[in-house]
Homo-oligomer: A and B are copies of this chain.
Amino acid sequence: MANIYDVAKAAGVSPATVSRALNGGSVSPERAARVQAACEELGFRPNRVARGLRRQRSDVLALIISDIENPFFTALARGVEDVARASNLSVVLCNADDNPEKEAEYLDVALAEHMAGVVIFPASVTETDVTALLDRGVPVVAVDRAPESAAIDTVTADDENGAYAATRHLLDEGYRRIACITGSRGSAAAMERLRGFLRAHREGDAPRRRPRVAYADFRVRGGYQAMNDLLDLPEPPDAVLVTNNLMASGALEALHGRGLRPPGIGLASFGDTHWSHLVEPALTTVHQPAYEIGRSAAELLLQRREAPDTAPQRLILPTRLEVRGSSRRAADSSPPPARKVETRVSHPETGPRQWARLGRPDAAADSATAAGSAAR
């Protein structure tokens, strides 16, 4: 494979000139053309490894996620990629599988390869350690939960308000014994969602009884198990909020297994799925703006590349409740409508300045909730 010396020789110039011609240095048009021709002639591809060694920086960005099978991450990845590509960065995905060891390995790779930056969904708030990256000047942005090891830019969905809106909606529909299936206590998202669920119960017309909470693991089997446990209670719930799409799938299976079906028992879940509108009745969900989270994370990363020493930012993007049949008690016995009716119920927003920076100036209107949740 041809290297820069071969090209220089073929073009009758010095290697430095070739380098300049390729990287936008000042070169006379005539020489630039000769270099160009020689490159094509020889099929020259600059060796990124050598370039990386010299420049101490690559143009590949790592996205480390915890479960490639979760649609949330795939949407997230698209967001990251779209922004990165606009800045001529490539994105590689690393599937840490919720395993801190695997994650550490990929962090190591990112470090040792001097990657341009890392967007990470930390496998663990406590164990995930990104300080080595930061020490070496590799910018890191966290999605969903911030690792304790360092203060870094973070982007999350407004989980608390999303859960609140969904629970509020179930209450409004007349459900009275609402349970929540959430993730492990170690997950910040799980706790946020639980918090919103509980807040809705503390309000005026909510039932006095302490709502049931089942802790599972954000996986299909966990949701299945948790739902069965809830149904086995002496006083089983009449509606359930599931805080993750995979668990929702398991929960639905558990219902089917007992011949139960929404909205007889109300069901609402977090996260988007490819199947939420394929099941009957369609599943009410709290939409997480995964793509936007990805975009924002990548944008923060690019900003930080430029200005490494500014204070870390915390971005909270709004969620949106998509009401469908599984939680519409009124629709209980009537045939499903021909078209989906989707209602936007909740639109908490983050602060206007953040939005402006993200190119969403339209959202500057209501920021009361935002201040509250952003400060949390």
Contact = CB atoms under 8 A, between A and B. Distances in A.
Interface of A: 1, 43, 45-50, 52-53, 58, 60, 62, 68-69, 71, 74-75, 77-78, 81, 85, 90-95, 102, 105-106, 108-109, 111-114, 132, 135-136, 220, 246, 249, 252-253, 256-257, 259, 273-275, 277-280, 336, 338
Contact of A93 (B92, B114, B280): B92
18 contacts: A47-B112, A48-B112, A48-B113, A49-B52, A53-B53, A68-B78, A69-B274, A77-B95, A81-B95, A90-B106, A90-B109, A91-B94, A92-B92, A252-B278, A257-B338, A273-B275, A274-B274, A279-B280
Nearest to A102: B85
Contacts of A90: 94, 105-106, 109
Contacts of A259: 338
A338 B253 CA distance: 11
Given A92-B92, A93-B68, A113-B48, A135 B275 contact: no
Given A71-B69, A77-B95, A93-B68, A45 B275 contact: no
Contact of A253 (B47, B113, B249, B278): B278
Stoichiometry, copies per complex: 2
A11 B78 CA distance: 46
Contacts of A280: 256, 279-280
A337 to B, nearest CB: 11
Contacts of A273: 274-275
A278 B279 contact: yes
Given A46-B112, A273-B275, 10 more contacts: A1-B135, A43-B132, A47-B53, A47-B114, A48-B113, A49-B114, A69-B274, A78-B95, A246-B274, A252-B278
Contact of A48 (B60, B109, B220, B275): B109
B278 A45 contact: no
Nearest to A50: B53
A256 to B, nearest CB: 8
B60 A136 contact: no
B69 A74 contact: yes
A167 B85 CA distance: 43
Contacts of A275: 249, 273-275, 278-279
Contacts of A53: 47, 49-50, 53
Given A46-B112, A49-B113, A253 B277 contact: yes
Contact of A49 (B58, B85, B105): B58
Contact of A278 (B69, B94, B109, B249): B249
A254 to B, nearest CB: 11
Nearest to A93: B93
A60 B93 CA distance: 12
A49, A58, A108: residue with the most chain B Cβ atoms closer than 10 Å: A49
A112 B253 contact: no
A336 to B, nearest CB: 8
Given A112-B48, A279-B279, A1 B274 contact: no
Nearest to A56: B49
A145 to B, nearest CB: 22
A112 B45 contact: yes
Contacts of A106: 90
Contacts of A246: 274
In the A-B complex, the 9 residue pairs with the smallest Cβ-Cβ separation, listed nearest first, are A275-B275, A92-B92, A93-B93, A48-B112, A49-B52, A69-B74, A49-B53, A68-B74, A90-B109
